[in-house]
């Protein structure tokens, strides 16, 4: 069975930074841009984003800043059209398997035609820029995910690692 097709992969390195635990939004943004360039479509067509989402100030603020920059510039003023979640709120941080766990969540959502919820999260951190002014909303319950026929259902997965390795 084919549950999904990966159209683009973007990677980057933050290079020399302040520490291995302090990701940089510029590096994550570069990985996002490379992924969508390789995919041949823009992030404005993505309806579900699986964030790396470590629930830490050091990780979530740079990630949301990068996602908001890349998705926001394509959305032309549209707000809260893309569900955003992270599997980590359900299973914890799986270290090197985090990206694979996020990919599995996305594939099951595609297969079952359901926007999967992110549990144990009601409100985003107050350290993040205002979610209501972004392209994203936190999906806290399962919702039907049916294509309108104009384009296929699309999702993305971010996975960021130690030393500034960024993948989308």
Please report which confidence band the pLDDT of residue 109 belongs to, taking 50, 70 and 90 as the band edges.
very high
Average pLDDT over residues 122-141: 84
- In 51-154 the beta strands, taken as DSSP E runs, fall at 82-85, 114-115, 136-138, 143-144
Query: Does pLDDT of 164 surpass 70?
Result: yes
Q: Tokens 């020399």 sit at which residue?
A: 16
- Range in 2-6, 10-14, 57-61 the model is least confident about: 57-61
Query: What pLDDT was estimated at residue 142?
Result: 94
By the 10 Å C-beta count (0-12 exposed, 13-18 middle, 19+ buried), 123 is classed as exposed
By the 10 Å C-beta count (0-12 exposed, 13-18 middle, 19+ buried), 42 is classed as middle
What's the whole-model pTM score? 0.89
Percent composition of the chain: helix, strand, coil (DSSP 3-state, to 5): 40, 15, 45
């Amino acid at each position: 069975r084919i549950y999904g097709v990966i159209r683009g992969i973007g990677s980057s390195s933050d290079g020399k930074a302040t520490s291995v635990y302090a990701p940089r939004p510029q590096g994550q943004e570069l990985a996002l841009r490379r992924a969508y360039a390789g995919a041949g479509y823009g992030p404005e067509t993505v309806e579900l984003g699986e964030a790396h989402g470590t629930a830490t100030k050091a990780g979530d603020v740079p990630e949301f800043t990068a996602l908001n920059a890349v998705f926001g510039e394509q959305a032309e003023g549209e707000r809260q059209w893309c569900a955003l979640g992270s599997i980590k709120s359900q299973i914890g941080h799986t270290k090197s398997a985090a990206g694979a766990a996020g990919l599995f969540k996305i594939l099951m959502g595609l297969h079952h035609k359901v926007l999967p919820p992110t549990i144990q999260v009601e409100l985003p951190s107050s350290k993040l820029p205002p979610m209501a002014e972004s392209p994203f909303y936190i999906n806290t319950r399962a919702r039907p995910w049916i294509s309108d026929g104009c384009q296929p259902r699309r999702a993305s997965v971010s996975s960021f690692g130690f030393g500034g390795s960024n993948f989308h």
